Structure 1
Amino acid sequence: MLYHDVIVVGGGFAGMRAALSAKAAGADVGLITKVHPMRSHSSGSHSGINASLKSYDSWETHVQDTLKAGEYLNNQDAVEILCKEARTEIDALENLGMIFSRDENGLIDATTFSGSSVARTVFSGDSLGHILLQVLYERIVKERIHTYDEWNVSSLIVDDGNCRGVVAREFKTGDLRIVSGSTVILATGNLGRLYQLTTCSLTGTGDGQALAYKAGASLVDMEFVQYAPTAIKRRGLLITEMARAMGGHLLNKNGDRFLKSYSPDVMELAPRHVINQAIFKEISEGRGESGCVFLDMRHLGKEVFSDELRETEYLLRDLENLNPEKDLIPVQPAMHRPIGGIKTDTGGATTIPGLYAAGECSNNGAHGAGRLGGNSLLDNMVFGRIAGESAAGYISSRSNKTELDGVLEQERDKFNELTSRDVTDVMPGMLRRELANIMDAHVGYKRNKPGLENASELIADLTARTKKLGLVNKNSRFNTELQMLVELESMMQISGVMVRSALCREESRGDHNREDYPDKDNSNWLKHTVATQVAGEDALNYTEVVSTRWNEKEMGNGSHS
């Protein structure tokens, strides 16, 4: 039987950061990932990491910007940790070998991302994701952390109320194996593939959220979904926020820099949800073109492209045959990152003892109703490290082999049932596309009660159809069809939670926009939505926002408009 003190599920930024910190704390660590770590969705990040390194900035100012972007639904204790620890984390990354762009004095450079009042986002041109992922993986190899590449976790082992390990399927052989341990950290990342137009890679299917929910852990604020304003037309491929930070303009079809009518003080550096609202309004009122507005970078100059936007220029030339030095770039908002996720405390602990979570599959309340540009990677680093340290310090008894053998048999029975179904004309990919279209249409950036109720009914029907799907490929080895079906079942479950949460929150705040409730309602909705499955039944409850010393009235209203 395989055993590790700490089992990390997910090989992106948060997962590898958690694995390294758990190893540094003296734990034996195993890292399980359904794709090789260097192929994780984290590699698609082109942006930067917030940290108050400059003399004109402070962690307190960073907190204030984070709270305003989150429309004060943030848990302030988590925000304080995030912002205080940022400088320490940048130092740690430099010590690991991370290369950051430098200013004329040789110091780490910083630029201004959406929602920030000062330049605090450190970067590596527009290639930070690739570089950071390489740095973390090299350290994983150096520390001899065992990785289980292309293993997919199908269930958590919860024994006597404690998480004791996982059941995982090796893609190469099709074998189901138990990996037992004292603690498990879920760091499985995004759920963007629930949507059709998304910046997320194919691996973002909400695996960790579904694993935790089925095991009895709570999910929180699942109604909040962040859109990126500038995705390439129809592709969903993100044009990095660096393009706007370097001075790129957004234009409507008339050539007007339309954000002067929505956020005149900060223009393209307004919080993302403000920019998204403006773009959707321009398009709906006829000032867009083919569902898009335009990103104008023609005035930036060759030096900016060669030094800071090299990868962006290459992608546009290669995929779209567009030269950003000469051409306007058609862009549209696309689903980017979930705000909601597995409910954790500031140490990464979920509501199940022995189970931790970090990164985009988790939520400790740091981001509130909308994530500040540059805070996502910071969250991965800070709370990934903290989750690893917390998990390494957790002591629990190991389950005996007899108990775990029973779990393995149950899981084999489940997979045997999937492969024994009669073949149907419907393939998993067909239902996956149907689900994504439903989410785009009714649970996207604009929502209302009839649409959400329709989505709920359609998803219930899709879920029933999913349970009858048969597989053409009955083999266990390298079975991508089976993998897609397992992912689809998770996607159906999580989409249902998102719809229920969105239907119940009768206000508009940050990245949750109800056309039938267009205003923010602090009197009734300054609280977190908590979803839990109890005895097979879905339940929603609410918890209060954690406040420390930051007051919305003193700092100014949030930025919802």
Structure 2
Amino acid sequence: MELINTDVAIIGAGGAGLRAAIALAEADPTLRIALISKVYPMRSHTCAAEGGAAGVIKSDDSLDMHFDDTVGGGDWLSDQDCVEYFVKEAPKELTQLEHWGCPWNRETDGSVAVRPFGGMQKQRTWFAADKSGFHILHTLFQTTLQYPSITRFDEYYALDLLVDEGRCQGLTAMEMRSGMIKQFNAKAVIIAGGGAGRIFPFTTNGAIKTGDGMAMAYRAGVPLKDMEFVQYHPTGLPNTGSLLTEACRGEGGVLVNKDGRRYLQDYGMGPETPLGKPQLKTMELGPRDRVSQAYWHELQKGNTVSTQWGECVMLDMRHLGEKCINERLPLVRELAIAYLGVDIVKDPVPIRPVVHYMMGGISTDMQAATPLPGLFAAGECACVSLNGANRLGSNSLVELLVFGKSAALSAIKHIQALPAANVANAAALAARAGESQARIRALFSRTDGTESMSGLRKEMMDTMEKNVGIYRNEAGLQEAVDKIAALRLRYQNVVVNDKSNVFNTDLFQVLELGCMLDCAEALTVGALARKESRGAHQRLDFVQRDDASYMRHSMVYYQGLNAPRLDYLDVVITKSPPGVRDYSGDHK
């Protein structure tokens, strides 16, 4: 097994991973940085983000307003010290991106343009048409190229963390091109591997979003925090799940039911406002959890539109005009035409909610440090407790930047604090790496297995779709917990049919399935135990928010093939006591 020595290993080369690599290289040019990704960086899922990134820039806005919107939008499950730090750092990071060349849209006076986004009382979302993630990722990727200390390992699949003497000291990864396993010894590891939305069948997430980084940390003893909170985006294409950005509604698009009625006023998000003049905090600019839940209620009432792709509501943007759409929503128009044959300039487009983002993930503090010394995490794979029970749109792209940088600075502090005479126990780390290699060899050598990857994956997805959706109940969640536990046992008999070494996609899909099952386990266990409704976690049998019992983060600990251990951690409250989420538009 080839040994690669580095100072910091970063798993994932999307927005958070690239930002961490830049911060490391800037802070200390002598550091050796290994950037490990299972896809080329520009294929990372950050590229798919459309709408924009939130940061206070205009004179009528304030950090306190951004704080209030984020905490209220998260249904008071956000750690407020983390939110305070985030809103302060966000404008700095977005300005830094501009200096690196990110082509933000501009006002006529040359200043940065901002657009409205759901749950935000002021316009503060910076954007680059509706391809913001692409431009952010491109800017970060190009910036990394100037630093010779960053070595990329593209198309490497990360396998296991190497833990010795109570701290993380590296990882193993497989080079996809050769099938060879490499041992990376590192003084610090940063996980920036994205979310796990592919445990659901209908999602905006690309095929790479399988929770690999989450599962690696989970298996190494780090708890997964708040995994029960899964965000549905209200406007996905009904056949592919492709995202139609929240900017559609930020620019003035409206949601109507089968009768052509703007129904959101029936769900605490009124009053209705004139077309083309969206009123902040109301109607279509309610937060994502509330807008998705309203669709569910319209479905129960029989108010949805029957299409060849199932039940939908309609997103109408015709009144915006072709000029506005081509300037600010060109990708949305392309997607609707390509996948549905609908030109949004001429016709409403059918949409329905789709799994989009996981608020939960690897437990970290606001410095992006996990409970395992030497291990840090940032981005969607991490739960720094910024987003609480529901993420506000356009906060996540800035989260990548703010906490990607924090992870890097924390990793440097960790390295500096190591004893000067610190020498990794080479034999111990080699033994750990050998265990990782043996796990892969066991998969290859199994000939008497009875389970297929595709069969298990379908059962997992069907279970999650049926029981862990927008609305949940005790019986369904218990069924999901039992089913996922059974699937994890059956996974021990899964067969890898392709025995080759070169780009063995069969093997990688089997490994990804194991990670997804681990993440699904943590999610369902946390959801069953949380007997309240809060944000994106809605219980039909416990319809009220219960601050007395559940103003706490769920913490799920891996226990092998046994049921995981569940614990809780108190939410940090600094200046905003729990209140009522009011998006009626009647208050100031």
TM-score interval w.r.t. the shorter chain?
A: over 0.9
The one of 270, 287, 305 equivalent to 1:271 is 287
| Count of paired positions | 558
C-alpha displacement at 1:501, in angstroms? 0.3
Equivalent residue number for residue 319 of structure 1: 339
The one of 529, 538, 555 equivalent to 1:530 is 555
1:531-560 CA distances to partner (integer Å, 9 max, x unpaired)? 12358752111111101122335xx54669
Question: Which range moved further: 397-406 or 494-503?
Answer: 397-406
1:425-478 CA distances to partner (integer Å, 9 max, x unpaired)? 753122212211110110111111100111112212222222111122111221
How far apart, in 2, do the equivalents of 1:246 and 1:450 lie? 41
CA contact (8 A) 1:70 1:558 kept: no
Equivalent residue number for residue 315 of structure 2: 295
How far apart, in 1, do the equivalents of 2:124 and 2:102 lie? 17
Question: Which range moved further: 139-148 or 8-17?
Answer: 139-148
Question: Which range moved further: 119-128 or 471-480?
Answer: 471-480
1:332 to 1:343, Cα distance in 2 relative to 1, 3 A: same
Equivalent residue number for residue 421 of structure 1: 446
The letter for the 2-side match of 1:96 is W
| Long gaps (5+) in structure 2 | 272-281
State percent identity of aligned pairs. 37
Matches within 5 A, 1:169-188: 169-188=174-193
Do residues 64 (structure 1) and 55 (structure 2) align?
no
How far apart, in 2, do the equivalents of 1:404 and 1:520 lie? 46
CA contact (8 A) 2:450 2:493 kept: no
The letter for the 2-side match of 1:431 is L
C-alpha displacement at 1:252, in angstroms? 0.3
CA contact (8 A) 1:181 1:398 kept: no
Equivalent residue number for residue 350 of structure 2: 330
CA contact (8 A) 2:468 2:480 kept: yes
C-alpha displacement at 1:398, in angstroms? 4.2
How far apart, in 2, do the equivalents of 1:197 and 1:536 lie? 27
SS at match of 2:355: strand
How far apart, in 2, do the equivalents of 1:520 and 1:47 lie? 30
Equivalent residue number for residue 471 of structure 1: 496
CA contact (8 A) 1:423 1:469 kept: no
How far apart, in 2, do the equivalents of 1:79 and 1:210 lie? 26
- The TM-score normalised by the length of structure 1 is 0.97
How far apart, in 2, do the equivalents of 1:412 and 1:119 lie? 51
The one of 49, 52, 63 equivalent to 2:56 is 52
Equivalent residue number for residue 573 of structure 2: 547
CA contact (8 A) 1:227 1:337 kept: yes
The letter for the 1-side match of 2:297 is K
C-alpha displacement at 1:392, in angstroms? 1.8
SS at match of 1:322: coil
CA contact (8 A) 1:529 1:542 kept: yes
How far apart, in 1, do the equivalents of 2:151 and 2:72 lie? 41
How far apart, in 2, do the equivalents of 1:559 and 1:70 lie? 13
CA contact (8 A) 2:210 2:515 kept: yes
Equivalent residue number for residue 207 of structure 2: 202
Do residues 88 (structure 1) and 113 (structure 2) align?
no
Question: Which range moved further: 31-40 or 537-546?
Answer: 537-546
Question: Which range moved further: 247-256 or 417-426?
Answer: 417-426
Equivalent residue number for residue 282 of structure 1: 298
1:536 to 1:424, Cα distance in 2 relative to 1, 3 A: closer
Aligned CA RMSD, in angstroms, stands at 1.4
Equivalent residue number for residue 138 of structure 2: 134
Equivalent residue number for residue 325 of structure 2: 305
How far apart, in 2, do the equivalents of 1:447 and 1:547 lie? 28
1:213-246 CA distances to partner (integer Å, 9 max, x unpaired)? 1000111111100110000012110001111001
| Long gaps (5+) in structure 1 | none
C-alpha displacement at 1:104, in angstroms? 1.4
1:117 to 1:398, Cα distance in 2 relative to 1, 3 A: farther
Matches within 5 A, 1:338-417: 338-395=358-415, 396=418, 397-417=422-442
SS at match of 1:549: coil
How far apart, in 1, do the equivalents of 2:58 and 2:473 lie? 43
- The TM-score normalised by the length of structure 2 is 0.93
The one of 419, 444, 462 equivalent to 1:437 is 462
CA contact (8 A) 2:451 2:490 kept: no
SS at match of 2:17: helix
Equivalent residue number for residue 258 of structure 2: 253
How far apart, in 1, do the equivalents of 2:363 and 2:242 lie? 29
Do residues 499 (structure 1) and 505 (structure 2) align?
no
The letter for the 2-side match of 1:207 is D
The letter for the 1-side match of 2:68 is Q
SS at match of 1:85: helix
How far apart, in 1, do the equivalents of 2:88 and 2:423 lie? 36
CA contact (8 A) 2:171 2:433 kept: no
The one of 28, 40, 46 equivalent to 1:42 is 46
Equivalent residue number for residue 476 of structure 2: 451
Question: Which range moved further: 287-296 or 107-116?
Answer: 287-296
1:515-539 CA distances to partner (integer Å, 9 max, x unpaired)? 1101111111111111123587521
The one of 18, 21, 33 equivalent to 1:19 is 21
C-alpha displacement at 1:321, in angstroms? 1.2
1:142-180 CA distances to partner (integer Å, 9 max, x unpaired)? 213111001011100010110000011110010111011
Question: Which range moved further: 449-458 or 354-363?
Answer: 449-458
1:310-353 CA distances to partner (integer Å, 9 max, x unpaired)? 11111111222111011111100000000001010110000100
Question: Which range moved further: 116-125 or 458-467?
Answer: 458-467
CA contact (8 A) 2:451 2:493 kept: no
How far apart, in 2, do the equivalents of 1:414 and 1:551 lie? 48
The letter for the 1-side match of 2:467 is H
CA contact (8 A) 2:248 2:317 kept: yes
1:559 to 1:418, Cα distance in 2 relative to 1, 3 A: farther
How far apart, in 2, do the equivalents of 1:153 and 1:496 lie? 21
How far apart, in 2, do the equivalents of 1:312 and 1:277 lie? 23
SS at match of 2:58: coil
